[in-house]
Structure 1
């Protein structure tokens, strides 16, 4: 490990303020789902199934919209995308408290289509600001910042809803999102460096969306399938033990392990490939299923798998920046954002289905096995690409 890598990245011009800005911009994004869920349940007097439908609608919108927003950024610039996204976010979140459920369901989908892609923007901006040989470390920091945002956002959403009202929470999320959009518009961080700006040609999608890129996108989705499935299985395991009150503590354990893993990943000189990290993540999730009988044993068992979380996310982002031209980087990062979103949409219900028909332990086993299988499919895609090159 070489801690100097981090100091070198943080000394680069504009990197530190951009990282802080992106962290703050991501917190309301991570609070959105929890806040909407509580509003539907507590204020609209609907069940969790109805709340889940609103979340699903938003998820579908984000998955479809992320590459579109990235493409708009590539073609028209960051500010053009921010104007559209910020205005739409403001309209949705400030009107959401007074919308009836059917309208809320539809507008959640429409809002998701043009939501501010803060996760993708952060990676794209850092790629522009940091030299190629330091991108891995910068993206590792970015992955750790995402973990911090996910620790803070949902908790703040719950706090605002329970201490005030769900309406206040929705307005607060909306105000924070609008403020983030305005701040990003004013700062206008670069999405390409000077050398990349000189290249205006935009290649056809078939030229850059190659089997290796598809393999990385699949790995991105697979990682989130495992992580989202583990979260559901964790809640189920604690419920089986009658210790649901420990959920927050164990989520913090998972996030802390991910932060440590991300820190180590960014500091080592020769890190593992995304495929190896994905394989390790899936394989290490499987034995957690054998450790669900005790809170303390479960907490310890969760650490090894979650050490891989931030590294696999950072590594996939780094590889995508290396495999795709700068002129399409926004769309490529948007596709990765869609992969993350779809992974979350698949992992949670997959684990839930398995748990409903067996036990919490099998939830960990199945999502871990799926993760290993996805890593294997990625290897096949790599081999196919190598065979095409040889031909």
Structure 2
């Protein structure tokens, strides 16, 4: 392990500033979920099911919007791409608190669609601000910052709802989100190699790595024309030409991670409600989030990357024993091992996406990465809830663990088949590409 790598990255002022901005910018979004729930239930006097409908509307908007917003960054650059988001954040959340439920659902979709793409922008920027061998550490730092944010955000949402009012709180959320977008526009972190603040590679030779039998071409000082996967996916000019089975496997890992995280969240609440210990939920989150921070710290110091599907499979298996918890303390202790793999799964997934996708498509790819995690989160809660309602709290952990484990195994099998079948053909394709390389 090399913990000194953290010091090297944090010594770069622009990287340190971006990670801090990311932590601050995520707080409004982290607070919005609980604040909207309290607004629908407390202020509007509707059911929790109705609140879930609004949450689902935001999820749909974000799942569709993240890749689209990421693609706008790829095409127009960061500042121009963020202008619609900054305007929409203020307008939507300043009007939404005064709408009827039906219109609130529509506003939630629009709000999710135009949400400032903090996650994808920060990951995309870090991918070009640090050398490739330090991406793991940079992404781990960002994941740990996100964990801290999601410990602070919900509490901030509750504070706004209880000390002021949910209407005022939602307006504050909108203004804060817009300010976060303006802060990103002001700092304008690089999203492409060659932009001010981007890392300048010292090597003149491209590095080639085989991953699941597919070629990954690491950025160097050469520009490659053509596409190894052109015969399989069509012309490189197509919008989704960067997609291949290796990328889909990584997106499956991020989907599985979202599935486990949201399902575990529901299972924790159900377990403590069954034992009349909901007030001790903070104890469980302390162990769970603290373990994730520790896991992210350790993973970021590793010298080699770990396949995110292996990490997902381990986290899924270790989540199942949480069903045996009988109180807050046992639930918290049982959450330590799966919790230690939360940040590493997300870090490894982002790292592999950055390696597998060419730079000019990376914003869109990171958007899909965020969307897959969002979709997984949206699926995890109802899956776990259905099992909890029909069987009991313990079943929520089991079904989530089994589904995520099966997803991980399926992805690993796909990678193995690709590795066995495509190694020879990929090397042949790479030899052809070397002949087409154009010096920069």
TM-score norm. by structure 2 comes to 0.86
Shift of 1:388: 3.7
- Structure 2: 5+ residue runs without aligned partners? 195-199, 201-218, 226-235, 426-440
Residues 200 and 58 of structure 1: CA distance in aligned 2, closer, same or farther (over 3 Å): farther
In 2, Cα distance between equivalents of 1:155 and 1:5: 32
Shift of 1:338: 0.4
Q: Contact 1:218–1:374 at 8 Å: present in 2 too? A: yes
In 2, Cα distance between equivalents of 1:193 and 1:151: 34
Matched, 1:246 2:314: no
In 2, Cα distance between equivalents of 1:328 and 1:8: 28
Q: Contact 2:89–2:175 at 8 Å: present in 1 too? A: no
Residues 159 and 377 of structure 1: CA distance in aligned 2, closer, same or farther (over 3 Å): same
Shift of 1:193: 2.1
Q: Contact 1:85–1:116 at 8 Å: present in 2 too? A: yes
SS state at 2:335 partner: helix
Q: Contact 2:353–2:366 at 8 Å: present in 1 too? A: yes
1:127-162: CA deviation from partner (whole Å, max 9, x where unpaired): 111110100000000110111111111110000100
- Structure 1: 5+ residue runs without aligned partners? none
In 1, Cα distance between equivalents of 2:416 and 2:222: 34
Q: Contact 1:200–1:327 at 8 Å: present in 2 too? A: no
SS state at 2:179 partner: helix
Match of 1:320 in 2: 353
Larger proportion of helix: 1
Question: 1:63-212 to 2 correspondence within 5 Å?
Answer: 63-194=63-194, 203-212=237-246
In 2, Cα distance between equivalents of 1:223 and 1:229: 10
In 2, Cα distance between equivalents of 1:297 and 1:168: 39
- Work out which of the residue numbers 309, 334, 348 in structure 1 matches 2:342: 309
Match of 1:227 in 2: 261
SS state at 1:208 partner: coil
Shift of 1:369: 1.1
In 1, Cα distance between equivalents of 2:374 and 2:193: 28
Q: Contact 1:211–1:384 at 8 Å: present in 2 too? A: no
Q: Contact 1:57–1:108 at 8 Å: present in 2 too? A: yes
Q: Contact 2:322–2:331 at 8 Å: present in 1 too? A: yes
When the two chains are superposed, the root-mean-square deviation of aligned CA atoms in Å is 1.7
Shift of 1:247: 1.1
Match of 2:418 in 1: 385
In 1, Cα distance between equivalents of 2:239 and 2:309: 24
Q: Contact 1:199–1:327 at 8 Å: present in 2 too? A: no
In 1, Cα distance between equivalents of 2:44 and 2:120: 33
- Work out which of the residue numbers 307, 310, 329 in structure 1 matches 2:362: 329
1:8-39: CA deviation from partner (whole Å, max 9, x where unpaired): 11112411111111111111111111111111
Aligned pairs, number: 390
In 1, Cα distance between equivalents of 2:338 and 2:170: 34
In 2, Cα distance between equivalents of 1:46 and 1:297: 34
1:303-322: CA deviation from partner (whole Å, max 9, x where unpaired): 00110000000000000000
In 1, Cα distance between equivalents of 2:378 and 2:403: 14
Q: Contact 1:12–1:130 at 8 Å: present in 2 too? A: no
Q: Contact 2:90–2:171 at 8 Å: present in 1 too? A: no
Q: Contact 1:208–1:325 at 8 Å: present in 2 too? A: yes
Shift of 1:264: 0.5
Q: Contact 2:35–2:158 at 8 Å: present in 1 too? A: yes
In 2, Cα distance between equivalents of 1:163 and 1:13: 37
1:158-196: CA deviation from partner (whole Å, max 9, x where unpaired): 001001110121111111111111111111111122177
Match of 2:203 in 1: none
Structure index of larger Rg: 2
Q: Contact 2:323–2:395 at 8 Å: present in 1 too? A: yes
In 2, Cα distance between equivalents of 1:238 and 1:264: 30
In 2, Cα distance between equivalents of 1:372 and 1:281: 8
Match of 1:345 in 2: 378
Shift of 1:200: 11
In 2, Cα distance between equivalents of 1:113 and 1:175: 17
List structure 1 runs of 4+ shifted beyond 4 angstroms. Answer: 195-203
Match of 1:255 in 2: 289
